[in-house]
Structure formats: structure tokens, C-alpha cells
Amino acid sequence: MKSISKILKEVSEEIKPEDNYKKEIFSKISLIIKKINSGSKDFKATLGGSGAKGTWLKTFDADIFVLFDYSKYKGRGSELSDILESTLKKKFPKFIRMHGSRDYFQIKERDYNFEIVPILRINKASQAENITDVSPLHSSWVKKYKKLSGEIKLTKQFCKAAGVYGAESYIRGFSGYACEILTIHYNSFIRLLKGAAKWEIGKIIDVEDFYKGKDLFKIMNTSKLTSPLIVIDPVQKDRNASAALSREKFEIFKKCAAEFLKSPSRNFFIEKSMMSEFCRQKSGNKKIIIIRVSTLSGKIDVVGSKLLKSYEFICSELKKNNFKLLNSGWEWDKNGDAYFYFIFSGSSLSKTYEVTGPPSKMEEHARNFRKKHKKTFIRAGHLVGVERRKYLKPEQFLKYVLSLEFVRERTSSIGMRLVK
């Protein structure tokens, strides 16, 4: 068995961007920044996000922050997107305006995505008019720990492979910034895993010791403390950087951390296709159904939320109608179609099902129950109705569920196939 240090060394090499890729993307970033800054007096474009911090993985979408002078644009944060758009129109033939808490812009070149984000140039978080205004402060804080950039990359890749990376509402995992804070707090990837394996619900990470010796729950707004893990933002002490984290993703990370420490393997860093994973489970008396979903256009977070709601609705309907769901999941790469996966027991449902009614002695209720159910009998003093099922096989029922308005209004088109 390979040692942990050897595994981490190999993974670190694998997740580094190739020299040609790195050279090309930074060359393009430099040209975009130069174009934006040309002739501009009130704002200045600069590299942001993981690119600025040096914590990017093999490929990344580049964030370019356009910083507007605070003294001139204070209180005018709502105007920044329109001002920037008028500048971009003069300098770029094609870009997309993306809607958010403050609109931003996207420029696509081949396989590269560049996001142009207008923000106020601030010196402290209290000056922010929008959450994005604080982003450069995040970058400055992380850059103080450059020696840990390799460790941070390992954390991010581990989270990606575990399916817990991303704070978007349809993922509810760890943001890139949360990964950075956690790794810095523990001072290494392995120490983070050792700590995470022992986390309890309500664990507080306060890397700057803002609340040392204090009762955080009496000081901070409790609405910000509902996540299973509380990570105090080191540049904004009244913010929980892991507020979006769900209990499910918290537990998955803990479990993966413990399993890696027990049996270290490169497999913990490999992003797996859910389709291949589910199809591999096809054995014995099982039935696998894959649903391919073409997404609506729109902001990624909104589209993802609609997909999640559709998936959860389908799962709920299957369970309500007594189909034995052995496993399920969904995946989406944010670009193409999404896929929903369901594994069922291979046997069909019985032709009839029972509905338990009121006690037979309750005459009026019993009479109404008999009107509703043609075939009834008494068991243990209660009326029981017998009804015929409309759908005996999951593929039949799913075809019906996919036709419902709840699903159709959240997707562009949808198709289903049974894995033999």
C-alpha cells in the first residue's frame, strides 16, 4: 500500500494545470484586463477568484473583478453593472449579461469561461454594498498563506470527488473559499481530514479567534448559525462562510475523511461519472432507469435549483406510490444535459394495494369510506379498502410523472431509458 505522502504527491501533480493551458488562459486573461482598463479612469480590472489566490485546479473559470472607485460610487452599487456593460459593448464583440445579486458578465472563448464582475473597491467588509464587494478582501487574506496553496488544492479536489464542492443552492456543499479557510485553519489537508472525522454538529471554526471565550450564539444572528458546521469568515466576522452547507454534505465529507485516513487511495480524488457508477450496480434482480433532462436557459444556480426540485419531486412520487427505490442520484456538469438515476427492485408491484380506514364502529366515517372504496373488509376493528394499482412497473409510473406540469415547467425536454 502506498503511503499517504506518496499518494498526495502524485495527486498534487495530477491536479496541476498543464503549462500550455496555464500559459494560454493567463494570456487571454491579460488581454481582457488590458482591454477593459484601456481608457478607463473610474475603475480598474484585475484577476480575482482562485486565479488570484493561486488555488485553482487543473482547469478553472477565470474571475475578473472590475473595481470601481469607492469614493465616487459609494451608494451607487446598483449602477455598476450598467456602467460596465456600456464599456464592454465598445470593446468586446460578444458577451452575456448574467443576473445575480449584482449582474455580472460572461465572455466565452472556446473552452474558456471568463466572468467579469463589477465591484466596489473597499478596504473593509463593512463598506460592502453587495457580497461580491468583499471578494478581493477574501483573496488578500488567502494570499497571506501562499505556502498552503498546494494543500488547499488537495482539499478542493477531495471535495469535488466526494460530490460536496460548491455552495450553490442545488449542491449545498463547501464553497472554494470555505475550503481555503478550513485548510488554513488546520494548516494542512491531512490535519483537516483528521479534524473533520471528529466534527460534531454545530462545530465552530473561527480562524481569527473573533469569538474566543465568547458565546457565539448570543452574539451572532442565529439565522446564520443553522448549518451543521459554522466557519467564521476571517474578513467579515458576522458572516458564516459555510451557511449553505447541508447536513447531508457535512456527513458525506466526514465519512470520506474517515475512510481516506483508514485506507488512503488516489480514488478519493477522482471525480466519478454517476452513470458508470450506477450501471455498475446492475446485477441480480435490479432495474436501472436513467432520465436525461435538457435544461432551461438561465442563471446556473436557478437552473440547478429547478433540476433539484424536479429530481426530489420524482423521488417523492415514487415513494408515495410504493415503488422500492434502492438508490438514486443526479448529476449535471452545468453545460449540457442533466441525468437522473434510479435503481429499483426488479419485481413489479402487486396488482392491488390496501388503504387503512376508520374504525368500523364509527358509522358515518365508515359509510363515507365505503362510498370511496368499492371493495372493503374489516381488520382489527378498522375498515380496509382494496384498490387496483394503475402502474405496476416503475418505468410506467415514471412516464406518467415526467408528463406532469411540475416537471415539465422546470425542464426543456426530458427522456427516459431502461438499462437492461
- Tell me the whole-structure pTM to 2 decimals: 0.84
pLDDT value at residue 301: 84
- Amino acid at site 326: L
Which residue, among 305, 295, 311, 310, has the nearest Cα to 407 in the 3D structure?
310
- 418, 291 Cβ separation under 8 angstroms: no
Residue that finishes a domain, picked among 132, 157, 182 = 132
pLDDT average, residue stretch 206-224: 90
CB count in 10 Å sphere of residue 142? 25
pLDDT of residue 284: 64
pLDDT at 402: 95
Contact 290, 278 (CB under 8 A): yes
Supply the range of the domain harboring residue 342.
274-349+392-419
The CATH number of the domain holding residue 204 is 1.10.1410.30
Q: For position 201, what pLDDT does the model report?
A: 96
Domain count, the chain: 4
> Could you tell me the pLDDT band of residue 62, with boundaries at 50, 70 and 90?
confident
Select the more confidently predicted residue: 303 or 280. Answer: 303
- The pLDDT of residue 294 is 92
Residue 21: CATH number of its domain: 3.30.460.10
Residues 362 and 401 in one domain: no
Mean pLDDT of 309-334: 91
Model pLDDT, residue 281: 66
pLDDT at 283 over 70: no
Select the more confidently predicted residue: 173 or 302: 173
3-state secondary structure of 118: strand
The pLDDT, as a whole number, for residue 335 is: 77
* Residue written as grid cell 436513467: 290
Determine how many CB atoms are found less than 10 A away from the CB of residue 404. 13
Burial tier of 100 (Cβ tally within 10 Å: 0-12, 13-18, 19+): middle
pLDDT of residue 397: 94
pLDDT tens per residue, range 240-259? 999 999 999 999 999 999 99
Question: Is 10 domain-assigned?
Answer: no
Query: Does 1 have pLDDT greater than 60?
Result: no
Straight-line distance from the first to the last Cα atom of the chain, in angstroms, rounded to the nearest whole number: 37
- Pair 58, 50: CB distance under 8 Å: no
pLDDT averaged over the chain? 91
Residue 55 within any structural domain of the chain: yes
Q: Answer yes or no: do 342 and 321 share one domain.
A: yes
- Cell 486573461: give the residue: 29
Q: Which residues contact 258 (CB under 8 A, 6 or more apart)?
A: 197
Do 100 and 159 belong together in one domain? no
Answer yes or no: is 260 within a domain: yes
CA distance linking residue 235 with residue 331, whole number of Å: 33
Does a structural domain hold residue 317? yes
Which pLDDT value is given to residue 420? Answer: 56
The Cα–Cα gap between 224 and 237 comes to 11
Residue 1 within a domain: no
Q: Tell me whether residue 404 is in a domain.
A: yes
Q: Is the pLDDT of residue 155 over 90?
A: yes
108-151 confidence digits (pLDDT tens): 877 788 999 999 999 999 999 999 999 999 999 999 999 999 99
Q: Is the pLDDT of residue 280 over 70?
A: no
